Structure 1
């Protein structure tokens, strides 16, 4: 086999070997002393003739490595060309004469198989610049001078002008393949490399963004100053509308809360009664922090709390996620608000302010997706109109999700911007930092936050699996998840539930997840797994706790009224339309990726490819996953419906979505771009006017209508406890009532309305036995085991008449205790004892031997548990 005279390359009869040339590290100047010893006689004479005709060799200038040419030292490696030949020689593959030298007097490299399939925007050929590349402005003048100096001499040596062998190099300079050059092996190998999207260099994008904008502005006859003013005005008015929407929503919630509860006209005890269930527990710890002599002492009492639940010392900060109360108490004392505003107003004011941030974040998310703040206005309108299905702020102000979901909305808004293509470096860094801060804060505010982040991580995983987003960005978000779990684990006093969360298992690995489950106790999640099994029909149980959870309204399937309300506000129809279009467009993109077609770096309006935008595909997947959960659990609608508002508002206000639809329909009668722009303005305007006409009078009626929370029996009970009960007394009763007693009186209780601890769930089930068919002696033993001194029986539970017979508390207790007759074909015997809550009211033995009635009204009966049993006939 013969070899080529240059560097031992194969001759014409054999394939050319892959070679590359690297300039000296000290200098890029090429001299004959470096190259002539390696050349054959023919090449040496060719060199001498060219050098003599041209004169002094110029300084070598490195070319971009993206063009398949020689690269300077220190640059990123690329696939070398398939052949290296002397100048004016013919390539053994594609045969054209290489007329374009890389550096003056050096080799010419054939680029038939070295050009990448999809160069980045900064390196693509300009249509009007011949062979010039974007991002190569520093070399432009020198290259033009070299071409002007060498062009006449090259024409004489080639023996012709533009025809013949000279046509192929010109096509190469225009970015076209050379004649006779097919898709060689290197071309096929390049396709595999390009399946992985590469992250754009921030420096290049920052440098090229103004240049591209200036070029577009010059074509449209606009000056850069005019465009700068236009962009600033758009940003200013958009931010003003977003902030105004959030502030108006916060004021609306405050006004509605005042009208509903007549809050300012009530005494402190009556105000506190409005907090029910777990909300009462959260606010009670806020009061304890304010009463503590110092903040450090208050935190210590919460982390070593033995004054809330009898016979149990708990870390309340970990058990109940009390970071919101810690922050609120610090702000209240640090701001000097003790003499300005009452603690309860300061507390609910912070929550209402966070809800304003929540709405602002949803506004910004829709604005970033669609490019117009009209979509944000429509999102806010749909959110407020469907308020009963988007938030629980009306009747559960201190609940954890009201503190946490605003931060999650900020995280989603920042993540939406972070996933966008062609984002400049400063905006990308800002979005990344905001995602970090909001994710960490969200993890601290809610004990179930890692489950919601798990759903988000699944969405990002699917986005990355289909190569619809930059892998580096997805992995950065994964790192945020990982560090958020670690920070949450440390700040929540080594909460082991976070270490075995599905979020961590997805980010770290399945095997690590299994090993953590084996070696780390995680009883906190046991009841949730059992509940999921029963909910999905994989298991059946007669356990009171599981059946009671299944009967809760928030854990049942949504009713038809929910879908009817969303349809009446036109939200659900437009969401389904937008979801179908985006889903089909994303499916088309996935099939293109499978077939090897690369994604476009910039998607233009006329392309009609809404599915190539990663932030849109993320929201589609995210809403589908949350929607599946909402179809199973009605409580999940508060997580799903807000992002339904975002996606629907984006769709109707986005020209790209309408253009995608028109491209499928192949419209020819009307210009599709013009029609898409018109519909993106007309449709949301029509929707806005219709919503204003139909729902604005209803909202104003809610604000003008005075209501009142009237519960005199509960007020009388709390007043009696504060006046008559001993300070060291322990009360037993339903968990919901115990939360109110703890808040209003500060007395110790035997159970709490919390469902994230197995011990508390077992306590609740045992205390609920006061409404079952058990003997007085059994109930007495249960209550004394928890050191209870007083028993409170609620007449509403004892005589409950519920819409679903099997979901009443006494029915669930009868099923768990086997006191039901003929239930689903199984026969159970009657209990020989009557229902305890009924029998104790009769005041006969043996009930009066164990319990003594000390107070009663229309709703409550209070009995003292006798320490010494007196046997009466």
Structure 2
């Protein structure tokens, strides 16, 4: 019996050894599979990174190529390149020029922080007012590049003489990064190339598939003219700022997808917010819609209070840091963005008290009312406390959109095509590339999935049958549902759509977001019902092929735009001013031209295209009295009040009429009813017979320069 037991024990030990040996072999095999898995994962990530770099490089070349073909930029003289930066672009570039031409960087910085040229005779901090950090950064970069290349005795540009023909004098043209305008636009195009790389990665991350990134980028290229205007207007603020909004939304999406985000996520969001806000005064409005979209996601129960606090902390920190770096720009404190963030923080803190109401619809209604009243009320109180009226024109613009309210300033905005309602042509273009239908399919599928989830929650079911990733999870004491990132992007898309419909210029937020949403067509979570991966991605490939038919035509059309910048009347005017007027002579005129005069001649001006300041709007209204029906004596007095020496009269501005009711005379009839009965505008009198109040000192086919009589 004992021998039998020993035999059994030996067999048992042998079995155990065999089992252990098997486990060791299995472990080795699993380790081998893990190593192969890690290796494959690394190769996949390298593949994704290579694709991201490739699409970024393609986009940089794409926008630069269009810019070059449109203006023949490489063969323009330095003056012609500066003249091509019209309106706000010339104003921004002038400060880059100031920084690089100053004896030292600090001297240049001091010049733009204590500037009495832009709004003579006032001294203003243009770094505070005009969001000029891109020019400061590029100024540092250019001076550093020039110093390094000089020390290495390396050439930075190549110059030659260009014969322009048609009786125009030959000019010298230089090409290379040592040429300031080249350095400037190259930096813009490089940044927007990086933006496309991030955009691709965003599409991959949101969809969980490389096909999602390809759809995002392809949609952007196929609808390029509706997504961006960087290829035509590189110095505009959006060219520097928008890439950082893409990065910031990527970080917010990652935070929403992370189960337990930490306040390190807030830091990342804050840094992206600062990078977005410093270059562009309009950034606050886009970020306000984001705060509201995240709040709506919270209200519907897809995220808990912790995630809201993490994201809002990042937004609020970024806003406050931007306020400090912009030297206390009061418009940030009086913005709807700040007041909405404060309201959201208060409402989220009231969560335990609001839950007493039990009924979800009542809670939603209370939270919505608190957000609306809090945002409006806090903004009103801060504006009154600080006595800031610079952003009043924004409310006036929206009033004019939906009522018969109009004044001089709103008409200058709303008469411009970019501030009109979204054109029907835009919808047609997006339909032809199948972008709008594709996004509609995504929205419907996401909505159906979320409604099914809501139904299961209502039935107190923790998961949707047959689907993964739909577990209800706990965040602190709050039960949240999955797919928060989808809900957020639906709300964000809705906000951008509303903005674009009201103001056409804002389609530059909407159309790229449509492109991003197409990435979800490649999401297995959303479209796994189509079938296996092969079938699903085959359908995506067919869709992409259909998009390509119209998309390639759009790209070909953009490539076919050929031109060569030339504006001899303006060039003649600038050259005359540089030679024939004192360096301290003060000029006034149409806002776009004033930016050019400051950039190309360095003469003091009293008004300019950056129209977001109440004082500047009042100045411009006085200058534009020359387009009214006021007596010339009153026009003269308005100009003398501004200490002006010369006024530049453009015939086109006297006669311009972009659409019905938008002629300068019609705009002035709203503000100046006592002179409405007059039949001849002051500008017509100034053009035909300016004496005795003015004397004509220069004239060509487009411009008249009038000297103001000082008596």
> Structure 1 746/462 Cα, relative in aligned 2: closer, same or farther at 3 Å?
same
1:422-461 equivalence runs, <5 A: 433-461=267-295
Does 2:79 align with 1:264? no
CA deviation map 1:568-619 (0-9, x unaligned): 1110110111112212322343454455444689962899xxx931112211
| Equivalent of 2:103 in 278, 287, 293 | 293
Rounded Cα–Cα distance in structure 1 between residues aligned with 2:384 and 2:694: 47
Does 2:489 align with 1:616? no
8 Å CA contact 2:71–2:563 kept in 1: the answer is yes
> Structure 1 415/600 Cα, relative in aligned 2: closer, same or farther at 3 Å?
farther
Q: In the alignment, which residue of structure 2 is the partner of 1:811?
A: 666
Rounded Cα–Cα distance in structure 1 between residues aligned with 2:535 and 2:266: 34
8 Å CA contact 1:407–1:439 kept in 2: the answer is yes
1:295-310 equivalence runs, <5 A: 295-310=105-120
Does 2:428 align with 1:572? no
8 Å CA contact 2:99–2:109 kept in 1: the answer is yes
> Structure 1 785/591 Cα, relative in aligned 2: closer, same or farther at 3 Å?
farther
TM-score under structure 1 normalisation?
0.67
Rounded Cα–Cα distance in structure 1 between residues aligned with 2:579 and 2:253: 56
| Equivalent of 1:419 in 223, 239, 256 | 256
Does 2:534 align with 1:658? no
Rounded Cα–Cα distance in structure 2 between residues aligned with 1:591 and 1:505: 35
8 Å CA contact 1:361–1:409 kept in 2: the answer is yes
Does 2:573 align with 1:763? no
Rounded Cα–Cα distance in structure 2 between residues aligned with 1:368 and 1:536: 39
> Structure 1 553/694 Cα, relative in aligned 2: closer, same or farther at 3 Å?
closer
1:674-713 equivalence runs, <5 A: 674=532, 677-696=533-552, 699-700=555-556, 702-703=558-559, 706-713=562-569
Rounded Cα–Cα distance in structure 1 between residues aligned with 2:537 and 2:188: 35
Does 2:382 align with 1:516? yes
> Structure 1 372/384 Cα, relative in aligned 2: closer, same or farther at 3 Å?
same
Q: In the alignment, which residue of structure 2 is the partner of 1:547?
A: 411
With CA pairs under 8 Å and 6+ residues apart, which has the higher RCO, 1 or 2? 2
Q: In the alignment, which residue of structure 1 is the partner of 2:327?
A: 493
> Aligned-residue CA RMSD in angstroms?
2.8
Q: In the alignment, which residue of structure 1 is the partner of 2:709?
A: 866
Q: In the alignment, which residue of structure 1 is the partner of 2:688?
A: 842
> Structure 1 584/689 Cα, relative in aligned 2: closer, same or farther at 3 Å?
closer
Rounded Cα–Cα distance in structure 1 between residues aligned with 2:325 and 2:470: 51
Q: In the alignment, which residue of structure 2 is the partner of 1:483?
A: 317
Rounded Cα–Cα distance in structure 2 between residues aligned with 1:257 and 1:776: 43
Does 2:392 align with 1:558? no
Q: In the alignment, which residue of structure 2 is the partner of 1:322?
A: 132
| Equivalent of 2:450 in 578, 586, 592 | 586
8 Å CA contact 1:713–1:859 kept in 2: the answer is yes
Rounded Cα–Cα distance in structure 1 between residues aligned with 2:447 and 2:597: 51
8 Å CA contact 1:500–1:522 kept in 2: the answer is yes
Q: Could you tell me how far 1:658 is from its partner in structure 2?
A: 1.9
Q: Could you tell me how far 1:506 is from its partner in structure 2?
A: 2.4
8 Å CA contact 1:774–1:834 kept in 2: the answer is no
Could you tell me which runs of 5 or more consecutive residues in structure 1 were left unpaired when the two chains were aligned.
Answer: 1-213, 663-671, 821-828, 869-873
Does 2:571 align with 1:715? yes
CA deviation map 1:340-398 (0-9, x unaligned): 22111111111111111221222111100111122212211111221221112133211
8 Å CA contact 2:630–2:682 kept in 1: the answer is yes
Rounded Cα–Cα distance in structure 1 between residues aligned with 2:551 and 2:291: 37
Q: How many residues align?
A: 620
Rounded Cα–Cα distance in structure 2 between residues aligned with 1:244 and 1:419: 28
Q: In the alignment, which residue of structure 2 is the partner of 1:313?
A: 123
CA deviation map 1:531-557 (0-9, x unaligned): 2222232x623x211222122212211
Could you tell me which runs of 5 or more consecutive residues in structure 2 were left unpaired when the two chains were aligned.
Answer: 1-25, 157-177, 344-373, 472-480
8 Å CA contact 2:655–2:664 kept in 1: the answer is no
| Equivalent of 1:728 in 584, 587, 610 | 584
Q: Could you tell me how far 1:693 is from its partner in structure 2?
A: 4.5
8 Å CA contact 1:606–1:673 kept in 2: the answer is no
Rounded Cα–Cα distance in structure 2 between residues aligned with 1:355 and 1:342: 20
TM-score under structure 2 normalisation?
0.82
Q: Bigger CA drift: 314-323 or 473-482?
A: 473-482
8 Å CA contact 1:630–1:636 kept in 2: the answer is yes
Q: In the alignment, which residue of structure 1 is the partner of 2:637?
A: 781
CA deviation map 1:256-282 (0-9, x unaligned): 111110011110111111111111100
SS in 1 for 2:698: strand
Q: In the alignment, which residue of structure 2 is the partner of 1:331?
A: 141
Q: In the alignment, which residue of structure 2 is the partner of 1:535?
A: 401
8 Å CA contact 1:496–1:521 kept in 2: the answer is no
